[in-house]
Amino acid sequence: MDTITSQTASKNATNKDSTLDPDQIARIDHSYDQAIGTVTDFEKQKTAEGEAHFRRLGWKRLAVILIVEAIGLGTFSLPGAFATLGIVAGVFCCIALGFMAIYTAWIIGKIKVLYPSIKHYGDIGGLLMGRFGEELFGAMYVLQLILITASFVLTGSIALNILADDKVCGLIFSAVSGFMLFILAIMPSFAEAAILGYIDLVCIMTAIGIAVIASGVNASNQPGGIGASDWSAWPDPDATFKDGMVAICNIIFAYCFAMYMTPFMDEMHTPEDFMKSVWTLGGVEIFIYTLSGSLIYVFVGKDVASPALQSLPGVLPKVAFGVALPMIFISGAIGNTVTAKYVHLRFYKNSIVRFVNTPKGWVTWLLTLAGITIISWVLGEAIPFFNDLLSLSSALFVSGFILYFPAVMWYKLICRGKWYARENILHAVACIFTFIFGLLVLVGGTYATALDIQHHYEIGAFRTPFSCEA
């Protein structure tokens, strides 16, 4: 069904773009026919081909690409969050924040349907606050995406070092991770990236299964069995406000898929189907996060590492990280593609170069992608820690992207009539709560993470930047 619809969309896109109106023609890059100042047949052809090429994503592939982008790094930081919050609060946060993420994803997707010309999060900022909003949202968007890619560089380096028994300089492995994130991000279409997503999906489920089963078997073999594990249903009595906020931020980071909705939906041939993908992803995330986070914490206890794969006994960390490697690189590469597409589109918004189907398009695309990858690699080496990196980016940026920004968007861009009207009141109350909670995460999470980073540096818990340590 997706194939048939995709072919129809391609035909419609071709027919549409072969009869461009004067305003569209005026915005097309005239570099191929500067001598006479007209739009050439070549440009018209490339525009039509480009529009058709980037309208091939169906809701099923969208669900796959959202799952592989969302479920990965976050999953293996959650047992540590459960160790701080306890089982009861941990399960509650996973479920409540999951449904909140689904709701705010609906808001962003609905805006994309109502305003189909928007292509990324920055465009929504433009709808809210004009040029200033577009630049502000765009800057936050790029910074968050680069931090995410940097965290994938770090995780890839950790995985490779574990596989090599720390016998190779960590800088080499981080460079290898960055190179893989570049290579796998070369194809600019998300419909093509979704094909790799199926491989990623198998690796995700296998790695999670290994982590849960292996930690359970290991706990059973300990004196006293699983019952001897020092897990608790309640928060760690020694945990501070800072520890609690860091744990909550890690859970929020795991649900940051809403920020990818606009660029992914921009390639859908039927954008109205987006909620099928969101419900699929949301259900899978809530189930996996709640189950794996709680089970691994119960099996390992309060000393569970983050990422949790490092808590596995014997050679199992090697096995799990080996299985997870494709997941790390494919998920990181998709995020890298999102960042590069945003930057590339900013430079070539009104040019056929944006379609990456001409020599100039490919050269500029590869240069943009390489530049972003290098920046991410530098950050990954300069900030060599895991939990705090996730928490800092969550508090500063994700709190806005999936919480208080969507709440404002509903009031300004979706709400019709009075906000207190019968048909609007439930959304109005939900958005007020989401807005307040988002601001709490922004302020409290940033403060807590800053204290955590300061404390870890004071006790020498971090390695020297750009060193050979993993």
Where do the structural domains in the chain lie, given as residue ranges? 59-458
User: If you average pLDDT over each of 40-49, 166-175, 427-436, which comes out highest?
Assistant: 427-436
Q: What does the pLDDT average to over 327-345?
A: 94
In whole angstroms, how far apart are CA 227 and each of 31, 217, 259, 375, 386? 71, 13, 41, 47, 30
| Alpha-carbon 84 to chain mean position | 24
Q: Which residues contact 253 (CB under 8 A, 6 or more apart)?
A: 73, 74, 77, 390, 391, 393, 394, 398
Alpha-carbon gap, residue 39 to 28, rounded angstroms: 8
- Alpha-carbon radius of gyration of the chain: 23
Which of 6-20, 95-109, 180-194, 291-305 is predicted least confidently?
Answer: 6-20
- The two tokens of residue 211 are 């982590």
- 33 vs 377, which has greater pLDDT? 377
Q: Which helix (H) or strand (E) holds 2?
A: helix 2-17
The letter for the amino acid at 33 is D
Residue 258 has pLDDT above 50, yes or no: yes
CA torsion angle 186 189 191 195 (round to 10): 0
Residue 51 has pLDDT above 80, yes or no: yes
Tokens representing residue 36 in the block: 């006479």
Whole-Å CA distances, 461 to 271, 373, 378, 388, 450: 47, 27, 20, 12, 15
pLDDT of 463 > 80? The answer is no
User: What single-letter DSSP state applies at residue 417?
Assistant: S
> Can you give the pLDDT at residue 470?
60
Residue 428 confidence (pLDDT): 97
Please provide the CATH number assigned to the domain covering 59-458.
Answer: 1.20.1730.10
Give the pLDDT of residue 18: 38
- How high is the mean pLDDT of the chain? 86
146: which 2 tokens? 């680069």
Confidence of residue 387 (pLDDT cuts 50, 70, 90): low
The residues pairing with 57 across neighbouring beta strands, listed in sequence order, are 268
